[in-house]
A and B are shown apart, each in its own frame.
Chain A
Amino acid sequence: MADTVNALLLREVKTRFGSNRLGYFWALFDPIAQVAFMATIFTLIGRESITGVPISLFLIVAILPYKLFSKLLPQLSAAVSSNKALFGYRQVAPIDPVITRLLIELVAFVVVYLLVALILTWLGIDAVPDDFLKLLLATLLLVVMCLGLGLALCSATIYWEDTPKLLSIVLMPMFFISGIFFCATMIPAKYWFLFDWNPVFHVMELSRDAFFSSYQTPVGDWAYLSVVSLGCLALGLGSYQINRLKFVTQ
């Protein structure tokens, strides 16, 4: 399996980032440019800071995990269907491309996160999380949720091949309801119910809570997020186990 994932990794990296080195630059530059754009806009129109935190950093802490979510989920859910031809080799199991894509997105995420933190530090903003372990846990729960949903969607794609199209429609409004350019304390408490069903909103709230000791989330709930994430993972693994033969034969 390690050999297979290695082979898939090298192949996928090449198709994703192109064959020249400029591809790697674009892969990193694209999310950084987006973050910089958003941060600049909101700094220009908004207040200087929120609960003593520079608004750019406040946004970045949510934008980066959101980018991970919005890239990882479609990538994972298409992992099996776009590598079908390779299952002809018995060494390649359907889970292998899923693991491969998970690794690629995670590495890209960590590198971008570090680069952005470096740039912010260079600009004179203190970009070190106050509670690193909690931040890590929130991110991990997000990744677990994506993995579970991705696997479940891989299975769903067998039965209904338009699943990815539906996914991209569902993901569109997620940007606006996941608490990226706002946080729970900006919303009147009686309207929290509009957002607090959304596990991604919890990820953002808890990430900010972990990153800034001055921000205390009134909504973010570790128990809820954990249950949803592990539930998704169970669903994903279960549907994979049930459909593992169909992935190869179809």
Chain B
Amino acid sequence: MIKLENLSKYYKTKQGRHYILKDVSIELPTDRNVAILGPNGAGKSTLVRMLGGADLPNRGKISSDKRISWPLGLQGGLQGSMSGRENVRFVARIHGYKDTREIENKVRDFAEIGKFFDEPVKTYSSGMRSRVTFGLTMGFDFNFDVLLIDELSAVGDANFKKKSEALMKEKYAQTKLIMVNHSVAELKRFCDAGLVIYNQQLHYFDSLDDAIEEYETRYVSNR
């Protein structure tokens, strides 16, 4: 269970505060795979980042007794000036690993990006990036209860998708997902529940189909 209490998040703009979430209190289950739905700019990524501790709410708090991953996605997680290997090393070290070689090799073998593994991340294509990001979580034995995924699987090629899905199913049988993706087909494959963002509130639906229905009535005009 992830508990959100009186959560507010805004960004300062030239026209004043732009609220993304306002006084949200909700409990998200951690025994379901939850899809987050909303149009661009509604705050999906921000929500995922807050859940993962990479961003902080302006008011209120998020609490959970589960182990939640950092947000896996295109944006964050990897630092551009460091190589893939150095990023992996860094993440291993902040989690308390002293000998990082084994993990480095695991991620390298999973990512299959060849010599680019030792080049700065800023030279990567978005697909290569997501391979490393994904490999990072797979290479560790973190035993996350919840994986936060922000548009991650959208970019891999067919081969990589197949590989990562198989690994996820095998290794993370117990792990649930909270997922942002613009492809409904993708969401339907992974998720069984949905969370729709509108009016600066979160609306949880036990069935993904209901959530998609709600999302489309709210946001898609010519359906």
Residues of A within 8 A of B (CB): 3-4, 6-7, 10-11, 14-15, 85-92, 245, 248-249
- The reply to whether B86 and A11 contact each other, CB–CB distance below 8 Å, is yes
**Which residues in A have their C-beta under 8 angstroms from that of B79?**
85-86
A161 vs B81: C-alpha distance in the bound complex, in angstroms? 21
Asked whether B54 is an interface residue with its Cβ less than 8 Å from the other chain, the reply is yes
Closest residue of B by beta carbon distance from A248: B56
Main secondary structure of the interface of B (DSSP, over half): loop
Asked whether B27 is an interface residue with its Cβ less than 8 Å from the other chain, the reply is no
A151 CB, nearest partner CB in chain B, Å: 19
A90-B53 in contact given A3-B96, A15-B81, A85-B79 (Cβ < 8 Å) = yes
A-B contacts, 7 listed (Cβ < 8 Å) = A3-B93, A85-B76, A86-B79, A88-B71, A89-B77, A89-B91, A91-B95
A25 vs B60: C-alpha distance in the bound complex, in angstroms? 51
Give the total number of A-B pairs whose CB atoms are below 8 A apart. Answer: 49
Q: Say which size band chain B's interface belongs to.
A: 20 to 34
A4 vs B95: C-alpha distance in the bound complex, in angstroms? 8
**Which residues in A have their C-beta under 8 angstroms from that of B77?**
88-89
Nearest 4 pairs of A and B residues by beta carbon: A90-B53, A7-B93, A88-B76, A88-B54
- The reply to whether B86 and A91 contact each other, CB–CB distance below 8 Å, is no
A26 CB, nearest partner CB in chain B, Å: 20
Asked whether B90 is an interface residue with its Cβ less than 8 Å from the other chain, the reply is yes
- The reply to whether B94 and A7 contact each other, CB–CB distance below 8 Å, is yes
**Which residues in A have their C-beta under 8 angstroms from that of B81?**
15
B196 CB, nearest partner CB in chain A, Å: 24
- The reply to whether B56 and A7 contact each other, CB–CB distance below 8 Å, is no
A85-B90 in contact given A90-B53, A249-B56 (Cβ < 8 Å) = no
- The reply to whether A6 and B54 contact each other, CB–CB distance below 8 Å, is no
A136 CB, nearest partner CB in chain B, Å: 32
Contact mask for chain B residues 68-92; partner A; CB cutoff 8 A; 1 contact, 0 none: 0011000011011110001001110
Asked whether B52 is an interface residue with its Cβ less than 8 Å from the other chain, the reply is yes
- The reply to whether A90 and B96 contact each other, CB–CB distance below 8 Å, is no
A-B contact sample (17 more), CB < 8 A, given A89-B54, A248-B56: A3-B93, A3-B94, A4-B94, A10-B89, A85-B76, A85-B79, A85-B80, A86-B79, A86-B90, A88-B52, A88-B76, A89-B77, A89-B94, A90-B52, A90-B53, A90-B70, A248-B54
B86 CB, nearest partner CB in chain A, Å: 7
Closest residue of B by beta carbon distance from A6: B93
Closest residue of B by beta carbon distance from A247: B56
A88-B70 in contact given A15-B81, A249-B56 (Cβ < 8 Å) = yes
